[in-house]
Structure 1
Amino acid sequence: MADKKKIPFTQLLKEFWGPYFKLATYMRPYLPRVVFGMVCGILAGTLNGTIPLVLNYVGQKVLPAGQTLGKINPMKMHGADAGPAIDTVIWISMLIPAVMVARGIFSYLNSYYLSWVSFHILRDLRSELFRHLMSQPMAFFNKAKSGKLIARVINDTRVAQNALTSISGDLVKEPVAVVTGIVVLVSLDWRFSLTTLLLFPICMVPVLVFGRKIRQAGKAEENEAGAMAVILQESFAGVRVIKSFAREDYQASQFAKSSDLQCRNSMRVRKSMDIVQPLIESVSAFGVVLAILYVYYYHIGIIQFAALCFGIFLLYNPVKSLSRIPLQMQKCMASASNVFDLLNKQPAIQDAPDAVVLKGCRGGLNFENITFSYGSEQNAVKDMNLVVEPHKKYALVGSSGAGKSTVLSLILRFYDPQQGVIQLDGVDIRKISQNSLREHIGVVTQETFLFHDTIYENIRYGRLDATEAEIIAAAKLAYAHDFIVAQPEGYNSIVGDKGCLLSGGQQQRLAIARALLKNAPILLLDEATSALDSESEHMIQAALDRLSQGRTVIAIAHRLSTILKSDKIVVMDKGMVVDAGPHAELLERSPIYRKLYELQFNHDKIAA
């Protein structure tokens, strides 16, 4: 049993370093800048370590042996005890600012180039993650919390990118500075250096002790950040529901609870990170005591002592930066893992390797023995067989839950059926690329969605290369032009979040204009006139009738009056096609259709 619990070292290495190895691959396009930045870092670290050597050299050359600064008369140019000539002093002393300026330049170039690479990696990582999420099927978004996805794209990528560039830069620059500094100190006085650096390994103990705590608290911190993003996203998206139920205080308490937990996790991380530095400084203080005792015992010169002390001081920042690397890595582990867990998630619906790109289609659809469920035991569509002829209008009717909207989702390949085949012009739609399939389908749904942008851009979304004249023509065809020009800024008016500055009927007409602009050979209408008043519905229905000419139309409508002129009405019940035909025939032979028609007729009569 003990052997089974042992994890191979290579597996441990892969689990711990795996996310960083993957992150490192994002450096490849910018490798020249990375290399140049790291070379600058190496040079900066080397110069940083040689400063004590330069100070000692300058001091020995400028000050005569056995003298102190108080005994020197800089103006005295002759005599056995005089220092070097003033011009020699100036040139030798210039070594100090020369080294400091060179170190500053290389440090700046190191920081600039690695930061440039860092921000470009962040851009690439976010773009790839967002594009990958957009490639996921609807089933993924049905289960995922959009707030957490937002946190992954915005926050986790940033934390992972910071880990990659800051750690990679410090791993090259700071060790060189430490090694160079130690070599210089040992060359100046090996006994002094060994005495003061004796406690250096002890400084690593706090790093090891608090590293695990930071990893655990950091993971909890990032997870709670995702939970907080969920509350924010849902609260803003559902603000109408929140206000209608007077639940503002409840939402505020939920957010406050999440914020409090986030605060506590952040404090755990900060406490573990900040305690390391004082502990290291405390241990280093004992090294200073040893250094003072050494100077007292061996009576070393003031110049050499000053150079040695300055060298030890210069070691402080590199050692501090190195001590933080394991802590940064522990904190960033959760973020990097979250990002790559999403990137590694392959879409359940993908294009076939030999998928064809549609250049055009007639619009004929054939459903053969289609069965589909959303994961539950009950099928949303069961044993569906239907032939949709090109350039004709079909209507799907049935009670709620009959499977009508599911049929439209299957045509768009939002989902793939568990059984059966859907063919477009005789070709299995699974062998057609998803983008080209959907480019040939126009959609207007009952849940109108408009972007927080101008009216013009919302219509243009239907076809991005459309001209202004084509956009205006589509708006006129959808009977939207008149109310658009009545807006304060016409087509440049902002519609608000999800179109909140427009009425429901106006939103629906813009959605129809967007579909009209697309001019696709197949048109799917899911309650396309549900948000319209009687007058608007009449106008839109006339526009849709003109649009339907020469196209394949599949419409879902609870108002049977809008689909009575369809070439074929398909009656669905419990996911199955129970009958299909013209209105008059169905009224005679289909009990389900007759019941739907009579219920709606009586409802309309009472309403009138």
Structure 2
Amino acid sequence: MADQGGDERGKANIGVLRAMLGFLRPYRAQVLGASVALVCTAAITLSIGQGLRMLVDSGFASGATEDALNQALLLFMGMVVLLAFGTFIRFYLVSWIGERVSADLRKAVFAHVVTLHPGFFENQLSGDIQSRITTDTSLLQTVIGSSVSIALRNALMFFGGLIWLFITNPKLTGVVLLSVPLVIGPILIFGRRVRSLSRSSQDKIASVGSFVGEAVKNIKLVQAFNHQQADRATFDRHAETAFDVAIVRIRQRAWLTTIVIVLVLGAVTGMLWVGGHDVLAGRISAGELTAFIFYAVMVAASVGAISEVYGDLQRAAGAAERLLELLAAENRILPPAQPVLLAQPVRGEIAFDAVDFAYASRPEVLAIKQFTLNVPAGSSLALVGSSGAGKSTMIDLLLRFYDVSGGAIRFDDVDIRDLDPAELRQYIAMVPQQPVLFTGTVADNIRYGRADASDEDIEAAAKAAYAHEFIERLPEGYQSFVGEGGVRLSGGQRQRIAIARALLADPRLLLLDEATSALDAESEYQVQKALERLMQGRTSIVIAHRLATVINVDRIAVLDHGELVACGRHSELLSQSPLYARWASLQFDEANHQASVADERPLSGAAQ
């Protein structure tokens, strides 16, 4: 089992390394330049030890001349200048590579995430995805732009220092090498633990971010239910859990650093004892001992630095794994190898042919059962039914957010699975029941329907949606900031902007999910007229919760537990479908009752 775990870790390491090399490949020139600067600075640093030997033996020894001292100092200063210049080049290029790879990785992950099918996000927290794209890539940027460079530089210094130690004094080198296995062992043992804990720590931090995002996004609901104290306690638990995991990781790194320092400096102390006695006995010169001490300290410092950044490298490996999981996530809704092109002009005819569908989370339960229905081009269809009847699922299937489990959906006689999803969706516009606005201006949100729309097109769409008047009253008109999710606008205003967005898209198929539900009576009347004009000549499918809004559509489809139980006009369904007649009786009788109560209120008030 242990061997199997080691093999899996090795495969994971190779996978992470291969992926990172893939992101580095486009920047070979910068990597080469940084590598050359790295080798040069390491070589210059190692040469300083020989400069010190010359300085001690030639400049400070008895009988040394002033010219010899000056020459030694000039040589030493020249090496320092070269080292500083090389360090500048190395630092700049390595930092540039770190920032560039981090940006590329963010773009690659986001580009992949936004193409994934909606079903993927049913099992993923949005806060966790945000954490991976932001926090984890920032960690990788720090490691690639700093820690990797430090690790490589100190690895060169370690091996170069060992070589110079052998050249300078093989006997003393043997004393130093005794500590090497003792140092490498703890690095490998503790490093594996740090990597595992780093992955866990990043997951816990992502959970904290997800909770914060939900609380802030729904702050009105939190405060309306006086849930601040309970949410504060929950957040405290999340934060403390993340802290506890981080402390365990930090403790492991602290022990690693402590052990390395004791072992390495202990070896240096032993070397000084042996070397000091050799100098006193005349077996080596003071300059040789100085150079040897320099290289020994350099080797020790290199091992210490590597042990420090090894934890960072393991954290980066954990972050890379989390990012690669997103990049490797499979998109279940893909265009076919050779997509069919729709015949022009696109008509917008829809055909449901014995459609079955079950969600992946509940594969044994069919959400849609043997649904068969044709929607001629230019006609309107309303889907009505109780909650859970499958109305919204039909919209999702039309947009090919999911693929049917059985049967087929055809758009202009073409199975939508044979179409590129992007081409299919460019002929469809949707107005959801809960309008979605993005952070930005009013104009930005309307232009979402058609990216190349002019300001005049946007204003025309807003007028058609009866949104122009209230937009003009905003502080900056169409350039007014709507806030996150449109928080600065009322529900009715957000709905009309969503309708304007759909109008701007000028679709062949219009999907309306009770698009007037958030409007007051006057606005609903105006927008209903706009929608009636919009629906003319276009295929329209309307999800209706209030039957009064769909009395005039061409046909009404009655759904019950995913099955089509009746279809026809309002007047026909009243006599043909007991279920529809019952809903109509409940809704219209209640509406008439409320209207009569409203009419009587002034009279009763006057009587009093």
The TM-score, its normalising length taken from structure 1, stands at: 0.92
Give 2:582's aligned amino acid: K
CA, structure 1 residues 239+368, in 2 after alignment: closer, same or farther (shift >3 Å)? Answer: same
Q: Is the 8 A contact 1:364 1:390 kept in 2?
A: yes
> 1:425, 1:212 → 2: CA distance?
58
> 1:342, 1:545 → 2: CA distance?
43
Q: Is the 8 A contact 1:224 1:258 kept in 2?
A: yes
> 2:159, 2:72 → 1: CA distance?
26
Aligned to 2:498: 511
Q: Gaps (5+ residues) in structure 1?
A: 68-80
> 1:333, 1:506 → 2: CA distance?
47
Q: Is the deviation greater in 258-267 or in 576-585?
A: 576-585
Give deviations 1:215-260, integer Å, cap 9, x for gaps: 3322221121121122112212222222222111111111111111
> 1:327, 1:450 → 2: CA distance?
42
Partner SS for 2:559: strand
> 2:586, 2:311 → 1: CA distance?
69
> 2:473, 2:376 → 1: CA distance?
41
Deviation at 1:532, TM superposition (A): 0.7
Aligned to 1:191: 171
Deviation at 1:136, TM superposition (A): 1.4
Q: Is the deviation greater in 277-286 or in 415-424?
A: 277-286
Aligned to 1:248: 228
- Is the counterpart of residue 315 in structure 1 residue 302 in structure 2? no
Give deviations 1:318-377, integer Å, cap 9, x for gaps: 222222354334333332222212211211211111123556511001100001122433
Q: Is the 8 A contact 2:358 2:365 kept in 1?
A: yes
* From 102, 115, 118, the counterpart of 1:135: 115
Give deviations 1:265-320, integer Å, cap 9, x for gaps: 21222222123233222223333432332244222433333232223233333222
Q: Is the deviation greater in 189-198 or in 272-281?
A: 189-198
Aligned to 1:56: 53
Give deviations 1:372-421, integer Å, cap 9, x for gaps: 12243332211111101001111122222221111111110111110011
* From 32, 37, 49, the counterpart of 1:35: 32
Deviation at 1:542, TM superposition (A): 0.6
- Is the counterpart of residue 485 in structure 1 residue 472 in structure 2? yes
Matches within 5 A, 1:453-464: 453-464=440-451
- Is the counterpart of residue 362 in structure 1 residue 347 in structure 2? yes
Matches within 5 A, 1:32-181: 32-63=29-60, 67=62, 81=63, 83-84=64-65, 86=67, 89-164=69-144, 166=146, 168-181=148-161
> 1:265, 1:143 → 2: CA distance?
24
Deviation at 1:170, TM superposition (A): 4.1
CA, structure 1 residues 213+568, in 2 after alignment: closer, same or farther (shift >3 Å)? Answer: same
Matches within 5 A, 1:115-514: 115-164=95-144, 166=146, 168-298=148-278, 299=280, 300-358=284-342, 360-374=345-359, 375-376=361-362, 377-514=364-501
Q: After the TM superposition, list the runs of 4 or more consecutive aligned residues in structure 1 that deviate by more than 6 angstroms.
A: none
> 1:296, 1:450 → 2: CA distance?
76
Give 2:81's aligned amino acid: V
Identity %: 32
Q: Is the deviation greater in 42-51 or in 508-517?
A: 42-51
Q: Is the 8 A contact 1:364 1:552 kept in 2?
A: yes
Q: Is the deviation greater in 489-498 or in 440-449?
A: 489-498
> 2:437, 2:65 → 1: CA distance?
82
> 2:312, 2:517 → 1: CA distance?
54
> 1:89, 1:198 → 2: CA distance?
37
Aligned to 1:26: 23
> 2:254, 2:457 → 1: CA distance?
62
Deviation at 1:592, TM superposition (A): 2.2
Give 1:481's aligned amino acid: H
* From 523, 526, 537, the counterpart of 1:536: 523
Q: Is the 8 A contact 1:362 1:521 kept in 2?
A: yes
* From 553, 561, 575, the counterpart of 1:588: 575
Aligned to 1:73: none
Give 1:200's aligned amino acid: V
Deviation at 1:262, TM superposition (A): 1.3
> 1:25, 1:544 → 2: CA distance?
51
C-alpha RMSD of matched pairs (Å): 2.1
Q: Is the 8 A contact 1:50 1:181 kept in 2?
A: no
Q: Is the 8 A contact 2:98 2:143 kept in 1?
A: no
Q: Is the 8 A contact 1:452 1:499 kept in 2?
A: yes
Matches within 5 A, 1:559-570: 559-570=546-557
Q: Is the 8 A contact 2:37 2:89 kept in 1?
A: yes
Deviation at 1:9, TM superposition (A): 7.5
CA, structure 1 residues 331+5, in 2 after alignment: closer, same or farther (shift >3 Å)? Answer: closer
Deviation at 1:473, TM superposition (A): 0.6
Q: Is the 8 A contact 1:50 1:184 kept in 2?
A: no
Q: Is the deviation greater in 408-417 or in 11-20?
A: 11-20
Give 1:510's aligned amino acid: I
> 1:13, 1:352 → 2: CA distance?
36
Give 1:28's aligned amino acid: R
The TM-score, its normalising length taken from structure 2, stands at: 0.92
Q: Is the 8 A contact 1:54 1:96 kept in 2?
A: yes
Partner SS for 1:94: helix
Q: Is the 8 A contact 1:48 1:181 kept in 2?
A: no
CA, structure 1 residues 589+284, in 2 after alignment: closer, same or farther (shift >3 Å)? Answer: closer
* From 528, 533, 547, the counterpart of 2:534: 547
Give 2:51's aligned amino acid: V
CA, structure 1 residues 317+361, in 2 after alignment: closer, same or farther (shift >3 Å)? Answer: farther
Partner SS for 2:4: coil
Q: Gaps (5+ residues) in structure 2?
A: 596-608
Q: Is the 8 A contact 2:268 2:296 kept in 1?
A: no
> 1:572, 1:188 → 2: CA distance?
89
Q: Is the 8 A contact 1:484 1:491 kept in 2?
A: yes
Name the count of aligned residue pairs. Answer: 588
CA, structure 1 residues 403+55, in 2 after alignment: closer, same or farther (shift >3 Å)? Answer: same
